[in-house]
Structure 1
Amino acid sequence: MTAPVLDTDLDRAWEAVTRHLAPTPLIPFHHAGLDVPVYLKYEGAQPVGSFKIRGAIAALTAYAGQPVVTASVGNHAQGIAYAAGLLSVDATVVVPTSAARVKIEALRRYPITLVLEGDDFDGAERHALDLATAGGQYVSAYNDLHVIAGQSTLLTEVAADLAEDFTVVVPAGGGGLLSGVALAARRASQDVRVIGVEAAACRALSTAVSTGHVVSVPMGETIADGLDGNLEPTSATPGIVRDCGVAMVSVPEETIRRSVRELVATAGLVAEGASATTLAALREGLVPADRPIVLVVSGRNIGLDLLATILGEP
């Protein structure tokens, strides 16, 4: 089991992340059609186009220059690659052969060792763990206390921008971002309700939360590839999500696709499938509208062909 994430870990992560990254914008979303304000926390504005850079900088700073190994379908890989260059750390990144081409090509621009292995995230992760046993610190995209602490900085930024109580809606795959947000929410001066959103096709986290332990579940087809994949057996995130009282919901594929299109059409924001799950949850009526709402739009790294197809759908 991963060690507990302590308040001191959150403090060190905040110091590391804010040293290198500017806050991302909190954008009013005037097309929500609700009586309460709705905001978009747009992590597409990060240098690598997603929130993953937060956890990567926090983790590589904490590991103090050790060589690292990781596995990812793309965004965590780019975060590690960027942070490795920034902090002069040797990094090996394992990506499944099924990863989006746009993400693989982006990784080739960084000074890392890139390995394409496995048909899916689970296969890539197994290979990366094997490589780490031969030398290197494995940095999980979600089951690493320093990564989780780094992701907490997103909520800390939001809490600094909003004076009142609010609800924050967060995409949920392995649960690293959701866990970090939930831990930071407990330290906020406001009352912060946290809702985690899964793609209906990929419900590993909510299954682990409800059963009390990690179990392997089937993964269906989804454009929310950032939420795809099962959890490490020792993953700490289900326990954090449960202990923090996070509500878990899931959204269907057609609503995710419509939400990608809506974010472009009404907010002018490019969002990958995982990012659009939060708006999808709002449109499915899964988010209470009794206080201001923050939708985390977690990344913009969607393939142009897929985006063009979705934009052309009725």
Structure 2
Amino acid sequence: MGENRSMRDVVVPRRDDLENARQVVRAHLRPTPVDLGAGTPGDPTLKLESLQPTGSFKVRGAFSAIAAAPGPGVVTASAGNHGLGVAFAANALGGKATVVVPRTASAAKTARLRRLNADLVCTGESFDEAEEYALTLAGASGRHYLSAYNDPHVIAGQGTIGHELDEQLDGPLTVVCPVGGGGLVSGLGLWAAGRADVRVVGVEAAASTAVSAAVAAGRRVPVEVRPTLADGLAGNIEPGSVTVGLVARHVHHLVTVSEDEIRAALRYLAYERGYVAEGAGAVPVAALLAGKVDAYGRVVAVVSGRNITAAALASVLAAGETRPAAAS
């Protein structure tokens, strides 16, 4: 993204916002299940956000944000899953949504967006370029720009996963989740801030580390974004994104995983647990299988999405071990 972009004035969410989001989400979405596993050593508990109606946790933040959005319509940029959530929530709430995706977006996700009758715009070769265009479009049309991560209502909506875990599992807990722009990990961190027996660990693809770089620097710094199977996590973040401060304050640790580790996690989820996941959805499991997370109490991996193309999944499943050697 261009460095001359001005910062948007985004309010930092508070813990009170989580309760408002909880009421909206509970009115429209069923709680997603947890899978405790068969008790085999090393098998994490799975929080199956991949079973959401859009195939991803992103629908939580979309409902929360659209319910609070000013005006009759929103413009958003997405690698796919956020757009699916926004289109689904807009249909349910009677709103209108324009979704801007890069031309490189997953065909599985763009096909579903069309089925949801989203006003779909495909432009740019990366999420960064799609986001830049969406911001310009929103400004020119006077519509509300709805960020996939840098929005207080989106962040609060993603944090409702934590409220469900309160009802599903006893602590202490280590909750491990994917990190792209930081909306999910920020929401979970905000939820965990009031709980002494919960730690939140975020996992990035090594090919795209915008949030950890920003946390380390104390500000947004542009990073090189390389191709990754976890396409939903790929991209830089907005200047001034509130997720950076929230992660720095409330998230216990950030780790990265390689492409081989992501592939191994996808095979593990399919062959040993019986679930389809996309690359971004598998990164928490990848970190756990590779021994990169210090466990505190029960370990819960948020399997955040399932929207992967058949060809990509078939290629991953065709070869390789399901468990990489643990990191030394």
**Fold conserved between structures, TM > 0.5:** yes
For 1:184, give the aligned amino acid.
W
For 2:106, give the aligned amino acid.
A
Give, in whole Å, the separation in 1 of the partners of 2:127 and 2:311.
22
The one of 96, 100, 122 equivalent to 2:128 is 122
Match of 2:14 in 1: 6
Q: Which blocks of at least 5 consecutive residues in structure 2 are unaligned? A: 1-8, 321-328
Task: Give the secondary structure class of the aligned counterpart of 2:45.
Answer: strand
Give, in whole Å, the separation in 1 of the partners of 2:88 and 2:127.
20
Task: Give the secondary structure class of the aligned counterpart of 2:319.
Answer: coil
The one of 166, 170, 174 equivalent to 2:173 is 166
Query: Is the CA contact (8 Å cut-off) linking 2:50 and 2:281 kept in structure 1?
Result: no
Tell me, yes or no, if structure 1 residue 138 matches structure 2 residue 145: yes
> What percentage of residue pairs aligned between the two structures are identical?
48
Give, in whole Å, the separation in 2 of the partners of 1:12 and 1:290.
29
Q: Once the 2 structures are TM-superposed, how far is the Cα of residue 66 of structure 1 from its aligned partner?
A: 2.9
Tell me, yes or no, if structure 1 residue 256 matches structure 2 residue 262: yes
Give, in whole Å, the separation in 2 of the partners of 1:252 and 1:300.
19
Task: Give the secondary structure class of the aligned counterpart of 1:143.
Answer: coil
Give, in whole Å, the separation in 1 of the partners of 2:182 and 2:89.
21
For 2:208, give the aligned amino acid.
C
For 1:93, give the aligned amino acid.
V
The one of 299, 307, 317 equivalent to 1:301 is 307
Match of 1:21 in 2: 29
The one of 62, 68, 73 equivalent to 1:67 is 73
Give, in whole Å, the separation in 1 of the partners of 2:88 and 2:69.
15
Q: Which blocks of at least 5 consecutive residues in structure 1 are unaligned? A: none
The one of 213, 218, 228 equivalent to 1:212 is 218
Query: Is the CA contact (8 Å cut-off) linking 1:72 and 1:124 kept in structure 2?
Result: yes
Match of 2:276 in 1: 270
Give, in whole Å, the separation in 1 of the partners of 2:314 and 2:71.
41
Q: Deviations over 1:53-86 (max 9, x none)?
A: 0000000001155310000010000000000100
Q: Once the 2 structures are TM-superposed, how far is the Cα of residue 90 of structure 1 from its aligned partner?
A: 1.2
Query: Is the CA contact (8 Å cut-off) linking 1:30 and 1:38 kept in structure 2?
Result: no
Task: Give the secondary structure class of the aligned counterpart of 2:193.
Answer: helix
Give, in whole Å, the separation in 2 of the partners of 1:238 and 1:100.
27
Structure 1 residues 278 and 31: CA distance shift in structure 2, 3 A: farther
For 2:38, give the aligned amino acid.
H
Match of 2:91 in 1: 85
Task: Give the secondary structure class of the aligned counterpart of 2:98.
Answer: strand
Structure 1 residues 209 and 32: CA distance shift in structure 2, 3 A: farther
Q: Once the 2 structures are TM-superposed, how far is the Cα of residue 288 of structure 1 from its aligned partner?
A: 1.7
For 1:198, give the aligned amino acid.
E
The one of 179, 194, 207 equivalent to 1:201 is 207
Query: Is the CA contact (8 Å cut-off) linking 2:173 and 2:300 kept in structure 1?
Result: yes
TM-score by length of 2: 0.92
Q: Once the 2 structures are TM-superposed, how far is the Cα of residue 204 of structure 1 from its aligned partner?
A: 0.4
Structure 1 residues 32 and 124: CA distance shift in structure 2, 3 A: farther
Q: Once the 2 structures are TM-superposed, how far is the Cα of residue 2 of structure 1 from its aligned partner?
A: 1.9
TM-score by length of 1: 0.96
Give, in whole Å, the separation in 2 of the partners of 1:257 and 1:169.
18
Give, in whole Å, the separation in 2 of the partners of 1:39 and 1:258.
17
Tell me, yes or no, if structure 1 residue 106 matches structure 2 residue 103: no
Give, in whole Å, the separation in 2 of the partners of 1:167 and 1:245.
11
Match of 1:311 in 2: 317
Q: Once the 2 structures are TM-superposed, how far is the Cα of residue 156 of structure 1 from its aligned partner?
A: 1.1
Query: RMSD between aligned alpha carbons?
Result: 1.3
Query: Is the CA contact (8 Å cut-off) linking 1:31 and 1:266 kept in structure 2?
Result: no
Give, in whole Å, the separation in 2 of the partners of 1:290 and 1:149.
24
Give, in whole Å, the separation in 1 of the partners of 2:90 and 2:226.
32
